[in-house]
Amino acid sequence: MKAISGYGALLMALLPAGALAGLPDGFVYLKDVDPTIQTDVRYATANNFVGKKVDGYRAKKIVITRRAAEALKKVQADLKKDGYGLKVFDAYRPQQAVSHFMRWVRDRKDQRTKAKYYPNIEKSTLAGGGYISGRSSHSRGSTVDLTLVKTGKGEVDMGTAFDYFGPESSHHSTKVTAEQRADRQRLKNAMSRGGFASYHKEWWHYTLRSEPFSRPFNFPVE
C-alpha cells in the first residue's frame, strides 16, 4: 500500500468524522471508535421481528453519531471493571427502515414471527402500544439497542430477547427473575452514568441525553 504523504495525512485529519467512509458529518462506524464493543446487526439479516432483511440495512455495521459512540466507549470501560461489556444490536436507523416497520405492522396477514416476538399481544396494537412508530429516535443517530455480555460467557440472560414486544420487556416487569431484573438495572445504571436515558418499555433501548441532531436521517447503512 502506498504511504500517505504528510500533506495527505493532514488533509485526512482535517476531514469531518466519517467523511472518508461516506458518512454524514458527525457520524461514525462504532467499530472505529471502540472495536471491543460486540455487535449483532439483526436488521441486516432475516433474524428480526420483520422476518426479512430491513430496508436501508445494506451491511452488518453499526453507524452512530460520534458523540454517542464516544459515550458508549466510556460505558464499555466502566462495565469492564466488573467483567461485563456491551453488545449493540442497532443504533442509527434509516427512515426507510422505520417506514418498512410500519408497512409490516399494517400487514395483518403476516404473523410468521408472532410466536417469537409478540406471542401475547396482537400485531395491530404494536404501533399504538409504544413499540413501533412512524418516527424513531434511532433515525437521529444517538439511540442504541443493546445488551450486556459477560467476559467468557456470552450474552447475559435479561429475561426476554431483544425486540420482544410485551410487558415482560419493561424495566419494571415482575415477570422476570430477580437476577434478570438486577442485570437490567446494571445495564441501566451504566448507561445512565454514560449519559444515556432509558425507555421504560424496552430494557435494551437508550438515547443519549445530549444528542447532537434533532432531525431524522435516511442514508443507508453500508
Beta bridge mates, 154: 150
| Torsion sign over Cα 170, 70, 36, 139 | positive
Contacts for 184-189: CB closer than 8 Å, 24+ residues apart = 184/158, 184/159, 186/84, 186/148, 187/146, 187/147, 187/148, 187/158
Q: What is the mean pLDDT of the chain?
A: 92
3-state secondary structure of 116: helix
pLDDT reading at 14 higher than 50: no
> Where do the structural domains in the chain lie, given as residue ranges?
27-208
Sorting pLDDT into bands at 50, 70 and 90, what band is 2?
very low
CATH T-level fold of 27-208:
Muramoyl-pentapeptide Carboxypeptidase; domain 2 (3.30.1380)
* Model pLDDT, residue 21: 61
Report the C-alpha gap between 182 and 88 in whole angstroms.
19
Q: Nine-digit cell at 73? A: 466507549
| CA 206 to chain CA centroid, nearest Å | 8
Average pLDDT over residues 63-84: 98
Average pLDDT over residues 172-200: 97
* Model pLDDT, residue 152: 86
Task: State the pTM of this model.
Answer: 0.90
- 18-54 pLDDT, tens digit per residue, is 555 689 999 999 999 999 999 999 999 999 999 999 9
| CA distances from residue 206 to 24, 49, 128, 190, 200 in whole angstroms, order as listed | 22, 19, 20, 11, 10
- 81-103 pLDDT, tens digit per residue, is 999 999 999 999 999 999 999 99
Catalytic residue among 122, 155, 179, 202: 202
Ranked by mean pLDDT, the top range of 4-13, 14-23, 199-208 is 199-208
Q: Mark whether 179 is an active-site residue.
A: no
SS3 content of the chain, % helix, strand, coil (to 5): 35, 15, 50
